[in-house]
Amino acid sequence: MAATDPNINPAPVIRQLDDAAINRIAAGEVLERPASAVKELVENAIDAGARRIEVVIADGGKTLIRVIDDGCGIAADDLPLAMSRHATSKIDGSDLLNIHSFGFRGEALPSLGAVGRLTITSRVPGAGAAMIAVSGGDMSDMRPAALSQGTVVELRDMFFATPARLKFLRTDRAEAQAIGDVVKRLAMAEPFVTFILRDTSGGSDRMTFHADAETGDLFDALHGRLRSVIGRDFADNALLIDAERDGFHLTGYAALPTYSRGAAVAQFVFVNGRPVRDKMLLGALRAGYMDVLSRDRHPVAALFIDCDPTMVDVNVHPAKSEVRFRDAGTVRGLIVSGLRHAMAGAGHRASTTVADATLGAMQPQPMEPRVYQMDRPSFTARSMAFQAQAPGFAEVPSARIEPVVEEANDLPLGAARAQLHENYIIAQTADGIVIVDGHAAHERLVYEKLKTQMAENGVAAQALLIPEIVELAEGEASQLLDIADDLARFGLGIEAFGGNAVAVRETPAILGEVNATAMLRDILDELSDTGGSDRVQSKIEAILSRVACHGSIRTGRRMRAEEMNALLRDMESTPRSGQCNHGRPTYVELKMTDIERLFGRT
């Protein structure tokens, strides 16, 4: 008998997986962690027209997730079908691009039932409530239940059927925080819906998030909801965004550059109401703040893109967190231009947190109980008192004292009163004072003028005596040639050179000697990372920023009163003058109430 050759493996056998295995595999795609389950269930509640959604969790969602809504409910006869894979009421399957709902894949409920102990209780108007349970893929019989309206979905012991998945979960606290982030994102998308999140871990019952349904028009409702979710400081320092282009509508709020974060933790983007994490959209958000924030600071924004559903594909990923646009360039350009237009419209405005930080730095030590003082006299009374103390007042008892009125005091940045340390301008406003960093403010003014001149006259290009030929990987040349017109606007002229090579014939004159190969590779990296590139523009603007720095008023130079006031008036009329070229504030405003509080006069 011939010996079997150990080097010959038997042919693998193709098997049809059973439904339980299929559902567990699908659950691995849809349900990454408890927060994923909460997302799917809350989205189902929103699709059901709920106006109040309550989420209850325990142990970071590992042992309990309960979602209660007052939506339309699920008919008793449909409950068993709802637990089947790819069964959905959202679409009929004829058009996968015309999606108007959060859910449409029909995978969430059967996936949850495959990995945990799932119970659904629901009632539709005019009928009795019913309940069905699924545990590890095994479905129970449907039975009557008690429920006034809507649906209650309860998931216990998530991943008990796939215990290996439990090892990859984080701590209860981290998982609970992730659930909170999901609920807050969905709350931002639906400002007219009440959201409640409660944590019952360890026998407690803590409400960790509560946002009542907002009223008013869409922008007022959104502003109120963002105040509840992101915070009052953001709402007070946010700019309204409202722009349209080629069938895309961009709305939302974005913070002033002086209200920024040290990490990209407060950037929220929604497409047709759906929260997404898309690198192209986030890259466009960064590009909109390109010349007003330093690289170590990150903008804060909540942006909503609405378009015809056929213009965007949301069926890219099982978790539906990524999207693909038919015209990504238009969307990117809309975000960048919308943000820059809003910031330009804000003029010299700086965030209120600048004054708060200043007051915090100047906070005195705890004081003794306030000693009674007379109320602060009026301006007229103070003027008369000062005149009374002046020499010669007693000799002119009949003199009529007129208060000094200075129109500049009523202007936003007031009238200059002094210059400290040959840099800081102190100005008096109608109800406080303004402290201006003269060098930083003038640097921004010069920079904006240089950018305006560049926009009006274009970027001068210098022709290379010998074109530089750059060999690229397959497909990279076409990527660059697709944006050749945009690059030409900034003085970088390229053209095809055959195969995978391009010829660089012109470079921006302002940059001097340029390593064209390195620049093109940087542009390609940016295209791959964000779907667009502002590399050339950013390099040019960096040069303009340096020119502005060297051409601005230097620290140590004494300024005359008319120069200081001229600087203040220029700031009031120049976009983005509230922050320097690196995103730092150019001035601090303190109200009289703030100043008096420092001295314990309140």
- pLDDT at 246 > cutoff 60: yes
Query: Looking at 211-220, 239-248, 534-543, which range is the least confident one?
Result: 534-543
Strands 493-496 and 238-245: unpaired
- pLDDT at 248 > cutoff 80: yes
Average pLDDT along the chain = 82
Fill in the amino acid letter for 539: K
Sheet holding 424-429, edge to edge: 415-420, 424-429, 432-437, 587-591
What's this model's pTM, rounded to 2 decimal places? Answer: 0.75
- Choose among 456, 472, 543, 549: nearest CA to 508: 543
How far from the centroid of its chain's Cα atoms is residue 438's Cα?
A: 31
Distance CA 548, CA 565 (A): 20
User: 184 vs 102, which has greater pLDDT?
Assistant: 184
Q: Which two tokens stand for residue 567?
A: 């600087």
Q: Are 446 and 455 in contact (CB under 8 A)?
A: no
Q: How many residues does the chain have?
A: 602
Distance CA 466, CA 140 (A): 78
**Residues 389-406: what's their mean pLDDT?**
42
Distance CA 213, CA 182 (A): 17
* Domains along the chain with CATH numbers: 19-211 (3.30.565.10), 218-345 (3.30.230.10), 420-602 (3.30.1370.100)
Instruction: Read off the pLDDT of residues 323-335 as tens digits, 9 standing for 90 and up.
Output: 888 888 899 999 9
- Choose among 78, 186, 64, 200: nearest CA to 132: 78
Instruction: Provide the pLDDT confidence category of residue 446 given band limits of 50, 70 and 90.
Output: confident
Burial 130-145 (b: 16+ CB within 10 A, else e): bbbbbbbbebeeeeeb
- Residue 498: count of CB within 10 angstroms of its CB: 9
Instruction: Provide the pLDDT confidence category of residue 492 given band limits of 50, 70 and 90.
Output: confident
| Residue 195 φ/ψ, nearest 5 degrees | -120, 135
- Determine the 3-state secondary structure of 548 from DSSP: helix
Instruction: Read off the pLDDT of residues 101-139 as tens digits, 9 standing for 90 and up.
Output: 665 555 778 888 888 999 999 999 999 999 999 998 888
User: What are the E-state strand segments in 307-423?
Assistant: 312-313, 324-325, 415-420
- Choose among 581, 541, 237: nearest CA to 437: 581
- pLDDT at 361 > cutoff 70: no
User: 534 vs 38, which has greater pLDDT?
Assistant: 38
Distance CA 67, CA 120 (A): 10
User: 286 vs 11, which has greater pLDDT?
Assistant: 286
Collect all residues with Cβ–Cβ distance below 8 Å to 172 and sequence separation of at least 6: 59, 60, 62, 201
- pLDDT at 374 > cutoff 50: no
Q: Which two tokens stand for residue 28?
A: 């691995």
Q: Are 91 and 72 in contact (CB under 8 A)?
A: no
Q: Are 442 and 424 in contact (CB under 8 A)?
A: no
Instruction: Read off the pLDDT of residues 455-476 as tens digits, 9 standing for 90 and up.
Output: 787 778 889 989 999 998 888 8
